[in-house]
Amino acid sequence: MRKKTIFRRILLLIICLFIPIIAAYTYSNYKSQANLTVQIETLNMNNSLFFVNQLESRLERLKESAVLLTNDDDVKQFMYYNMLEDLDRILLKQKLLEKLTYLNTNTNWHDWRALISPRHQLRIYSNFSVAEMDSDVNLTSSSSGWQYEELTAGPMIKDFFIWNLAFPYNAQVESYTPQLIVQTGLSVDSIRDMLQQFKNEQRGEVFLYKAGQAPISDEELPQQIYQQWEEKVATNTLGNQGSFTMDANASSYLVNYIEIESLGWQFVTMTPSEQIYYPIRQGNIIFYVTLSLLLLCALAAGYLIFRHVQIPVAQMLKAFRRFEKGEYSVRLDLNNEHDFTYLFKSFNRMAITIQELIERVYLEKIQSREATLKQLQSQINPHFLYNSLYFVESMIHMDNREAASDMVMSLAKYFRYATYTGKRLAELKEELEVVESYLHIHHLRNSRFQFEIEVPIVMLQIEVPRLILQPIIENAIKYGAEATEGKAFVHVAGYCEKGIWKLAVTDNGPGITEEKKQELKDEWQLDAPENMDSCGMYNVNQRLRLYYGEHAGLDIETAPQGGCCVVLKLAEKKTDEELLP
């Protein structure tokens, strides 16, 4: 599992800070839209009610003006039009026309007022600009309620909502023809003007609707919007008033409708949702742009932290891990762009100091081991030299000059190599030559002692520490060959096993117990041997490991013929040409 770095923690903190902000704003935005929708619906409904009340009031005033006309004396006299003289008829029509024109002038010129005498087939009316006289009509009875009609006023044809007041009224007789009908009407153009004024205050589409009739609007109503409305009305039973949302013309609309009781039509307003939510969307854009800028700033800050904090810290951790593994030469690259330069310099100084101390201790340890080795050599050499010199003396007394000469030459070769301290390393060929001289000296001193050296040519050029075989050969002679009765034998063999060059020194002595083998192996793992008798082999093991690496060292086992076999693990085999034949 990867550890959380400072950079990851900061990124996680930034995300944790942004999540509640976005969640809170999203919830607030949702509630704001819901509340705004309710408020817009309420406002539209209130405005629609005001418009409908305004229209109803105007229709009511028109009806009241019709009732007032029935009480006028000249209007009553119009019921007896056929009984008047020609002059009186002319004067009466003139008076009635003046009164109708006056009423239109004081109210609204677009309104319609007319006096109709069904029995005499006469009508007196005033239109928008021209006062017409009587004309033939086919009205024989009055109809109740407001009716949507197309009327001819002189040269013009206009649409009106008409209300007829019959006088006197007798509802019990179906074929009853009233003496007078006072006709009043509201021009559709006036309604369009009202719709235009309403639309100026509230954007969207407004119109009056009744099934089977063309809609009344301030301007041409988009066909697709009207079709969607008709489909909605056809599939749903609408009440007196209400609100709903409708999609039309690739837009969403908030629809309010309210019935105009006097006319039997519905007043419909359609407000685009884009218009309603435009301020909120503008706020959303500003919020998300600001949030994006803040996020970019946060990421930029995170990048700066990553570059100037995370990367240097990671470099230091990597360097410390390598340092823990023993790579004391590791150094940090100095960079003055971040604030860790002083720490980097301190680490480099510490690494240099520790490396110097380790190298110094390591060198002192090697020198100490070399001194120990030389001390051992100085302890062994006199005794070995005395015995050899006694042998030379004996050979001289026995007049065996050849044996004496051979002993002297072997001693000269051995001591010339053993006493030379100029180099710590030598080729395996030189080491084997010295070993051969040493073994030959023992053979001269004791004829029952035999030896054999079998090392491949490819191994002769391997560099080994000087006198690395000396302690092993001495132990083989002392604890092996000399400890056995009869023929004594020491065999030195070289071979390659699992890519490692090895030398095996085997004797035919009494061998070694398993307890002793384990004791020696345990001592070789210590910093210093507890038993000075095994100091020589301990030094050989340590020198091999120091020079060749952890894979090198000593191993001890029982020989097939019963003696002891000490194996020296040397260098790794490097090329295919070095394979044994």
Q: In this predicted structure, what is the pLDDT of residue 13?
A: 78
Is 411 part of a structural domain of the chain? yes
Is 118 part of a structural domain of the chain? yes
C-alpha to C-alpha distance for 523 and 537, rounded to whole angstroms: 10
Q: How far is CA 544 from CA 506, 554, 555, 574, in A?
A: 19, 8, 12, 18
C-alpha to C-alpha distance for 446 and 490, rounded to whole angstroms: 13
Token duo for residue 199: 């639309």
More confident residue, 161 or 101: 161
C-alpha to C-alpha distance for 546 and 562, rounded to whole angstroms: 32
pLDDT tens digit sequence for 306-327: 777 777 777 778 888 887 777 7
Q: In this predicted structure, what is the pLDDT of residue 504?
A: 92
Residue 367 has pLDDT above 70, yes or no: no
Residue 138 has pLDDT above 50, yes or no: no
C-alpha to C-alpha distance for 561 and 318, rounded to whole angstroms: 54
C-alpha to C-alpha distance for 239 and 259, rounded to whole angstroms: 8
Is 466 part of a structural domain of the chain? yes
Phi/psi zone of residue 250: left (φ > 0), alpha (ψ -120 to 50 degrees), beta?
Answer: left
Residues 6+ apart with CB under 8 A from 384: none
The CA-based dihedral angle spanning residues 273, 277, 278, 280, taken in that order and rounded to the nearest 10 degrees: -170
Token duo for residue 37: 């929708």
- Nearest-CA neighbor of 211 among 231, 187, 240, 190? 231
Relative to beta strand 112-117, strand 180-187 is: antiparallel
C-alpha to C-alpha distance for 151 and 159, rounded to whole angstroms: 6
Q: In this predicted structure, what is the pLDDT of residue 176?
A: 66
Q: How far is CA 519 from CA 52, 475, 522, 523, in A?
A: 115, 16, 5, 6
Among residues 170, 192, 214, the one where a domain terminates is 192
Q: What is the pTM of this model?
A: 0.48
For the stretch 39-56, what's the b/e string if a residue is b when 16 or more beta carbons lie within 10 angstroms of its beta carbon? ebbeebbebbeebbeebe
Q: In this predicted structure, what is the pLDDT of residue 136?
A: 46
Map 483-532 to HEC letters.
CCCCCEEEEEEEEEECCEEEEEEEECCCCCCHHHHHHHHHHHCCCCCCCH
Among residues 145, 162, 192, the one where a domain terminates is 192
C-alpha to C-alpha distance for 452 and 505, rounded to whole angstroms: 10
Sign of the Cα torsion 329, 543, 522, 518 reads positive
The CATH number of residue 411's host domain is 3.30.565.10
pLDDT tens digit sequence for 19-66: 888 788 777 777 777 777 777 778 888 888 888 898 888 888 888 888
Is 155 part of a structural domain of the chain? yes
Q: Burial of 237 by CB count in 10 Å (0-12 exposed, 13-18 middle, 19+ buried)?
A: exposed
More confident residue, 483 or 175: 483
Relative to beta strand 488-497, strand 449-454 is: parallel
Q: Are 491 and 452 in contact (CB under 8 A)?
A: yes
3-state secondary structure of 10: helix
Is 218 part of a structural domain of the chain? no
**Domain tally, the chain:** 2
Is 485 part of a structural domain of the chain? yes
Summarize the confidence of residues 470-478 as an average pLDDT.
85
More confident residue, 81 or 494: 494
C-alpha to C-alpha distance for 92 and 42, rounded to whole angstroms: 53
89 CB neighbour count, 10 Å cutoff? 16
Q: In this predicted structure, what is the pLDDT of residue 456?
A: 92
Q: Are 466 and 425 in contact (CB under 8 A)?
A: yes
Is 254 part of a structural domain of the chain? no
The CATH number of residue 175's host domain is 3.30.450
- Nearest-CA neighbor of 127 among 185, 209, 174? 185
Q: Which domain holds residue 465?
A: 357-578
Band of pLDDT at residue 503, cut at 50, 70 and 90: very high
pLDDT tens digit sequence for 528-566: 555 545 577 888 888 888 888 888 888 888 888 778 999
Among residues 149, 171, 192, the one where a domain terminates is 192
Relative to beta strand 449-454, strand 425-427 is: unpaired
Q: In this predicted structure, what is the pLDDT of residue 454?
A: 92
- Nearest-CA neighbor of 374 among 289, 466, 458, 445? 466
Band of pLDDT at residue 518, cut at 50, 70 and 90: confident
* Amino acid, res. 527: D
Map 295-360 to HEC letters.
HHHHHHHHHHHHHHHHHHHHHHHHHHHHHHCCCCCCCCCCCCCCCCHHHHHHHHHHHHHHHHHHHH
More confident residue, 377 or 83: 83
Residue 432 has pLDDT above 80, yes or no: yes
Is 12 part of a structural domain of the chain? no
